[in-house]
Structure 1
Amino acid sequence: MSLEIPASVKVWSQFIHPVVMWVLLVISLYAMYLGIQVQRTRFAEGETKKELIKGRYNIRHYQIGSLLLALMVVATVFAMGVTYINNGKLFVSPHLLVGLTMTALIATSAALSPLMQKGNDFARYTHIFLNVVLVGLFGWQAVTGMEIVQRIISKM
């Protein structure tokens, strides 16, 4: 059984991944802000700590991080599927390899959560390091992704 995808769907499906990834870049910056607030709360004292606790930064950081994990994995697989459907192959490039690395980094970072909840500082600092690297790679991906989008548009 062969399922033929309409040409218009093939064309416009190529732009879903870049849009979703730009949204995820913004959300990841927000998650970083929340993580910084969690750290501030952890080291604060007295009234300052009471005020920061009211912000529920730890819960919001965890929820946003979970959303990022799920959407990044889905968007990565979706982009690879669309590329394969439209071209009959994946283009092994730095953009693809860095994207797969980012998916592994965010999964590893999220997997550290149970250890961090038990107070493991090594897991906490590893989580922070992985996420700083992830945000840096995300910025690079945004630039290279826009170059890919421009190539797609020029071929339309």
Structure 2
Amino acid sequence: MNTLLSPEVKFWLNFFHPVLMWILLGVSIYALYLGIQWRRARTAEGEKKKELLKGRYNVKHYQVGSVILALMVLGAIGAMAVTYINNGKLFVGPHLLAGLGMTGMIAISASLSPFMQKGQDWARYTHIVLNATILALFSWQAVSGVQIVQRIITKQ
């Protein structure tokens, strides 16, 4: 594929996705914390509940989760675009397939929000299982992504 991008720009584009994903991994851990706090607030009673509700963990969890959803989808699309621009093809392997699976899972997880807001426990448990799976895959992706970055650097 012939693009108008200089070799330097094409090289540095390789690092946008890994940096974004490492940031999103950290933000995802923060979203987990907010989700746990919101669960504590929902199940608490009395003064403890009043105190926890002041933290507005539900609103923060929803907002952070929305940002994660948007950036993960855009990051996955961007990574595939950069790979194609630089190589003329995608490399179908565990990293790509796990990333696509995570992208689908996070969309499903976010789509459960209306059901959770109506108190549906099945939606909450599905949301938790999906997000735990995503976080586990995300951790593995971080390691395999570093290996990919090392190969890119070695080729230069």
How does the TM-score come out when normalised to structure 2?
0.98
- List aligned pairs for 1:53-92, cutoff 5 A: 53-92=53-92
Paired residue secondary structure (2:85): helix
Contact 2:3 2:85 survives alignment (8 Å): no
* TM-superposed deviation, 1:6: 1.1
Partner Cα distance (1:38, 1:53) in 2: 8
- List aligned pairs for 1:1-156, cutoff 5 A: 3-156=3-156
1:85 counterpart letter in structure 2: I
Partner Cα distance (1:70, 1:6) in 2: 28
Partner Cα distance (1:93, 1:104) in 2: 17
Partner Cα distance (2:23, 2:110) in 1: 19
Aligned pairs, how many? 155
1:65 counterpart letter in structure 2: G
Shift >4 Å, 4+ stretches: none
1:31 counterpart letter in structure 2: A
* TM-superposed deviation, 1:122: 0.2
1:101 counterpart letter in structure 2: G
CA deviation string 1:111-149 (max 9, x = no partner): 000010111100011000100000000000000000000
Paired residue secondary structure (1:128): helix
Q: Which runs of 5 or more residues in structure 2 are unaligned?
A: none
How does the TM-score come out when normalised to structure 1?
0.98
Partner Cα distance (2:92, 2:3) in 1: 26
1:130 counterpart letter in structure 2: L
Q: Which runs of 5 or more residues in structure 1 are unaligned?
A: none
* TM-superposed deviation, 1:5: 1.2
1:143 counterpart letter in structure 2: V
Please provide the CA RMSD for this pair: 0.7
